[in-house]
Amino acid sequence: MPDKRFEDRVVLVTGGGTGIGQSIALAFAREGALVVVAGRRTQELKQTVVLAREEGGRADACTVDVTDEEQVAGLMGTILDRYGALHVACNNAGVPGSGRMLHEFGAEDWRRVTDTNLQGVWLSMRHQIPVMLKQGSGAVVNVASIAGIVGYLNAAPYTAAKHGVVGLTRTAAIDYGPAGIRVNAVCPGPVLTPMLEQARRDRGPSADEFYLRNIPLGRLARPEEVASAVLWLSSDSASYVTGQALAVDGGWTAQ
């Protein structure tokens, strides 16, 4: 049986309907959390809730677009009305943006990627942190990417946004550490998810060779491996860890 490190804690996971977000939500539920999964795709969110409940966990779903501040504020209001607290927030919602050189991306593509991957994280934190300030504690984990630590071939808007997420994480850790709030990021390498499948299509036949030649462990990550890192950063075991960008990348950024 898994440890119950998050017994009775309220946890929010954005982008919780598929891939990494779903794995994170299910991992929190297994460890006793009351998990709220949020995102744009209602059916996928409901499926995560079903899976969590089938394993004996507690979960709820809220449809929200993290690029819309009114919806983000409404989400936080709903969480407080239903559960009265927010102990952990994992800001995972994101979209892909790769496969072309910088000058080949148009303004619409740039906004689509940065609005979700960067502004969506900022808006989420903007409404999560006041709740944690009132509580006097909390943990935020933002899902960035190795593209937030190093340059990433043919992914200018994605890389810019994920570097921004790492910067937001570090600044928030400094700003809110005195108030008892820890803020960290995980930076996954390529992970076996639907988003990676989209990136593979964008990059074409050479995609897998590009990924694998850069990973010393010689394989792609599983979503649950990223989830394990998120849970550790959110837990009391990481009580003295804040402002960090933890690479979960099979060694990619060690080179």
- If we measure between CA atoms, which residue out of 55, 45, 14, 18 comes closest to residue 191? 18
User: What pLDDT score does 209 carry?
Assistant: 81
Distance (Å, whole) CA 221 – CA 189: 7
d(CA 72, CA 78): 10
pLDDT at residue number 197: 77
| Percentage, residues of the chain above pLDDT 70 | 99
158 catalytic? Reply is: yes
Contact indicator for 125, 140 with CB cutoff of 8 Å = yes
Residue type at position 20: I
Could you say which of 158, 176, 211, 240 is catalytic?
158
Q: Alpha-carbon distance 138 to 10, whole Å?
A: 10
Token pair in block for residue 74: 């409404």
Query: Both tokens of residue 254?
Result: 């060690």
Token pair for 29: 């539920």
Domains, the chain, ordered by start: 10-245 (3.40.50.720)
Rounded CA-CA distance 254/214 in Å is 10
**Its pTM surpasses 0.75:** yes
pLDDT of residue 1: 56
pLDDT for position 223: 96
DSSP 89-126: EEE-------SS-GGG--HHHHHHHHIIIIIHHHHHHH
- Nearest-5° Cα angle at 98, 216 to 225: 40
Task: Inform me whether the pLDDT recorded for 188 exceeds 60.
Answer: yes
The arithmetic mean of pLDDT across residues 168-184, rounded, is 98
The CA distance from 127 to 118, in Å, is 15
Per-residue pLDDT tens digits for 48-91:
999 999 999 999 999 999 999 999 999 999 999 999 999 999 99
Helices assigned H by DSSP within the chain: 19-30, 42-54, 69-83, 107-114, 120-135, 156-176, 194-203, 207-213, 223-234
pLDDT digits (tens, 9 = 90+) for 198-238: 777 777 777 778 888 999 999 999 999 999 999 999 999 99
